Chain A
Amino acid sequence: MSILVTPQTKVLVQGITGSFGARHTLLSLAYGSQIVAGVTPGKGGQLFENKVPIFDTVAQAVKATGATASAIFVPPPFAADAILEAVDAGLELVVCITEGIPINDMVKVKRAMEGKPARLIGPNCPGIVTPGPGKDSTGGCRIGIAPGYIHKQGNIGVVSRSGTLTYEAVWQLTCRGVGQSTCVGIGGDPVNGTSHLDVIKLFNDDPQTHGVIMIGEIGGSAEEEAAAWIKTNCRKPVAGFIAGATAPPGRRMGHAGAIVSGGKGTATAKIAAFEDAGIGVAATPSVMAETLLKMM
């Protein structure tokens, strides 16, 4: 088991013919993921790389291929529409990689998704990887832009807002011979589909996950909410790191959501919440894996 996706998950790619989408679709195919369809309005009937059928709409792609998950690579002005098209087509999982979507578009998307069964991961995220059993973890499910080869199949869950910090944690684990169940990048925007807490609950219920690395950063209060739940409910060891202790207040640190405003969302408050919840706090990003492994 794993969370959200398994090596068998059938994935379609919205924006498969754009340069970004095409490049990462090729990497996912090479990783052995089940990329069964692409969607580019107006290019229905064509084939991507002579093997993946392209459809005009997500609904057509789902009907023809049985895809249950989507990876979205469309440009920011069209991303909200793409997400809701995927939700409307009945997909279980929608992973939006696109960075730079207007925040009000996401406010509308979240409102429109209320009561719908689909789960959105992202936007502005690296995606999801459930490592496979092959060489360099091939044969797994890779949705998004994470480098597949750094992973290893195993029992640690990783959840983070940041892409490169996720890779850092994964690589630290893999270099110590420790594999991962699933790695989830939830994205750096202030309005996103899935929170740290949502992912932690999934890891808590997943028998294959034995411990979790949770990486957070300044801005908002999602890390504190996850920590409060972990304190009383989580049955597995959790180690974490919070980025941005040195960030000046009022400045957006790259990610749209990474900002300390009005004294809220500081690294100090988040680290205190982690400590209070019994989460192992990595003093530096170099010791994320080490901190968790000491707890296990």
Chain B
Amino acid sequence: MNLHEYQAKQLLAQYGVTVPAGEVCDTPEAARQIAEKLFGSGANLVAVKSQIQAGGRGKGTFKSGFQGGVKLCKTAPEVFASAKAMLNNVLVTRQTGPEGRLVRKLLVAAAPSIKKEFYLALLLDRVSSRPLVMASTEGGMDIEEVAAKQPEKIIMEAIDPAVGLMAYQGRKLAAALGLNGDLINAAAKLFAGVYKTWWECDASMVEINPLCLVESRDSRRGLVAVDAKISLDDNALYRHPDIQQMRDLGEEAPLEIEASKHGLNYIKLDGNIACLVNGAGLAMATMDIIQHCGGSPANFLDVGGGASQEQVAAAFKIILSDPNVKGILVNIFGGIMDCNTIATGIVVAVKETHLRLPLVVRLEGNNVLAGKKTLADSGLTIITGDSMADAAQKVVKAVN
């Protein structure tokens, strides 16, 4: 699960990380009121930020033609106008795809006077199975580009999960980023807060980009998380009921939400051959073999190790809701799962959905003969495949 920027900042603030003053809203009038408060308490500039879960917002374009999903404003009326242009409009960025995302909420926040920008992230290092801090002086940039072009500019510090991020490691990182004076301890405190957010919220990644060195009007220096992104470990959500409340279904594909209700793992892709498979590895491999045979997969769909007839029927309805689908490939290796249960489920689903598209089924494993007989006796036009390759070739041929 991913969080919006304003939600990520709420969590970080709870762990002592400084974020710019601001509030979230969903009307231009509310945006204006928040801006008046911020200007009233000394802000020179106020940022209006579209809340969608995709990067590249600043350089994005609304389908209305309005440029920029993030605007810096000098007056409250300007904030009102920007908010009006953004809310309930679709923002297209380099990460949203051409369909873009509807902006339902805005974060209106004070824009501090920035002296320097840094990059900071906490993530899991899969090689060492330990948390890792990644930091860079190249803040505000695409970190993947920095990693590719100037790897020496990325500083890493591994964390021993038995003791957590120690203060000395925070000071070491601060010094490596070129900070000095009272900023050394301020940075160490901030890093500790970010680590605590990552660990206690069971995040898979916390990213602050940019982390900014700011100066107030009385020349006091500080570190502020100007943008923030948090992804959470879905396996751990059960122990965070408060964070579960933050889930925004508007950011998720409707078919994927429907699939999760039936215990199915579905991801929509751009192709036209739908697949229904048991097991995540086999499901990926089925997509791959469709492409290898010259076709294009319409989805990833894992029905799991113990799919019921009802789940198979639900899976059919979900893949058929995708208007691009021109053919279906069912690939089941029934190890323990009874192939006949799957075959019966397929027959029911085909009848219920009045399926007219070509359907290729490859069944292998436990009770396979009974399963094949059920398909053959159904009177339905079902093409059978003897192997994965045979089935993939047949479905690609049927679609073309």
Residues of A at the B interface (CB closer than 8 Å) are 27, 76-77, 100-108, 110-112, 145-147, 150, 160-168, 171, 188, 190-191, 215, 217-222, 225, 241, 243-248, 251, 253-258, 262-263, 267, 283-287
Contact = CB atoms under 8 A, between A and B. Distances in A.
Given A147-B365, A246-B287, A285-B289, A165 B239 contact: no
Contacts of B234: 256
A243 B285 contact: yes
26 contacts: A27-B336, A102-B239, A103-B204, A103-B235, A104-B202, A111-B129, A150-B335, A162-B284, A163-B305, A164-B279, A165-B281, A166-B281, A168-B333, A191-B129, A218-B284, A219-B126, A220-B126, A241-B285, A246-B269, A251-B267, A253-B267, A253-B300, A284-B288, A285-B282, A285-B285, A286-B388
Interface string B17-36: 00000000000000000000
Contacts of B291: 245-246
A97 B233 CA distance: 19
Contacts of A147: 335-336, 365-366
A221 B290 CA distance: 25
Contacts of B289: 284-286
Interface residues of B, number: 56
Contacts of B283: 253-254
Contacts of A161: 281
Given A247-B300, A263-B144, A100 B279 contact: no
Nearest to B200: A104
Nearest to B240: A102
Contacts of A145: 305, 335-336
Nearest to B128: A110
Given A145-B336, A246-B269, A284-B289, A106 B129 contact: yes
B292 A284 contact: yes
Interface string B200-244: 001010000000000000000000000000000111101100000
A54 B335 CA distance: 28
Interface in B189-206: 199, 202, 204
B278 interface: yes
A263 B147 CA distance: 11
A162 B279 contact: yes
Given A111-B162, A245-B291, A258-B284, A103 B388 contact: no
